[in-house]
Amino acid sequence: MENGKACLGDLIYRYITTEKFSAEHLLDCLDLSLEHHTLEIANRLEGAFYAWRLKDFKKNTNNHSKTKHSSWSEKVKGLVLDGDKSPYLAQRAETLLHSLRLRFPILPQTTLDMNKILYKKVYIGQSIPESYSTVLESLVFNITARIDDVMFVDYATKHSESLSTFNRGGLGG
């Protein structure tokens, strides 16, 4: 797996590393008009997220094994180099991926999800809640759409009734 920056590409990496990061603003700036583009961005985000998590995991594993035998200068050097942004960037990539999934609840599975299923790397205890959450997200999306439809029809009906009452001279005219 490549590093996180290579997974994301220059444009998304620049946005994700800015001081005033906003997942919603970044999603507004990206071309999400086609499902293919949206799925490609989700795959990139997931790849970057796992690359940064793996980097952080390896760093922490190496630090724990070296702690027993390190000299004072190695400890100081470790503190100076501890400005690693991997956990920070992984969290931003995860936030962005979560916002993307909320915006597009019926987005197909990412390549990583398909590979987990293909190579049976999905744990049963994890796959059941994931399946339920996917179904629930779809139901919530459909229910919200229906509520919006009902509210629109209600508003349109009330608005047209008030206009017809006004046009007939029913309000003191």
Q: Is the pLDDT of residue 79 over 60?
A: no
Distance, CA of 72 to CA of 53 (rounded, Å): 28
Check which CATH number belongs to the domain holding 76 and give it.
1.20.58.1310
With bands split at pLDDT 50, 70 and 90, how would you rate the model's confidence at 5? Answer: confident
Looking at the predicted structure, is the pLDDT value of residue 162 above 80?
no
- Range name among 6-10, 27-31, 74-78, 94-98 with the lowest pLDDT average: 74-78
**pLDDT category of residue 25 using cuts at 50, 70 and 90:** confident
Question: What is the DSSP code string of 81-128?
Answer: T----HHHHHHHHHHHHHHHHHH-TTPPPPHHHHHHHHTT---HHHHH
CA–CA separation, 97 and 103 (whole Å): 10
CA distance 85 to 91: 10
pLDDT reported for residue 147? 95
Weakest mean pLDDT among 27-31, 45-49, 71-75, 158-162: 71-75
Predicted confidence (pLDDT) per residue in 98-113, tens digit: 889 888 888 888 888 7
Residue 118 within a domain: no
Same domain, 103 and 57: yes
Q: Are residues 104 and 132 in the same domain?
A: no
Residue 168 lies in a domain: yes
In a domain, 95, yes or no: yes
What is the C-alpha radius of gyration for the chain, rounded to an integer number of angstroms? 25
Are 82 and 160 part of one and the same domain?
no
Mark whether 68 and 30 lie in a shared domain. yes
Distance between CA atoms of 53 and 111, rounded to whole angstroms? Answer: 18
pLDDT in the model for residue 151: 95
pLDDT surpassing 70 at residue 33: yes
Asked whether the predicted pLDDT for residue 83 surpasses 60, the reply is no
102 and 131 in one domain? no
Give the residue from 122, 97, 82 showing the smallest Cα distance to 38.
97
Q: Does 113 reside within a domain?
A: no
Query: Cα separation of 5 and 83, whole Å?
Result: 17
Domain carrying residue 131: 123-173
Cα–Cα dist 167/156, whole Å: 16
Domain boundary among 83, 108, 133: 108
pLDDT of residue 163: 67
Same domain, 43 and 96: yes
Does residue 117 belong to any structural domain of this protein? no
Averaged confidence pLDDT in the chain: 78
Q: Domain check: are 104 and 128 in the same one?
A: no
* 65 and 131 in a common domain: no
How far is Cα 61 from Cα 78, in angstroms, rounded to an integer? 13
CA distances from 116 to 72, 111, 123, 165 (A): 43, 9, 9, 62
d(CA 145, CA 136): 14
- 75: in domain: yes
**159/102 same-domain check:** no
pLDDT > 70: percent of the chain: 74
Select from 32, 61, 58 the least CA-distant residue to 45. Answer: 32
> Looking at the structure, do residues 73 and 156 belong to the same domain, yes or no?
no
Q: Which residue has the higher pLDDT, 78 or 22?
A: 22
In this structure, the answer to whether residues 78 and 128 fall within a common structural domain is: no
Question: Are 15 and 61 members of one domain?
Answer: yes
In a domain, 116, yes or no: no
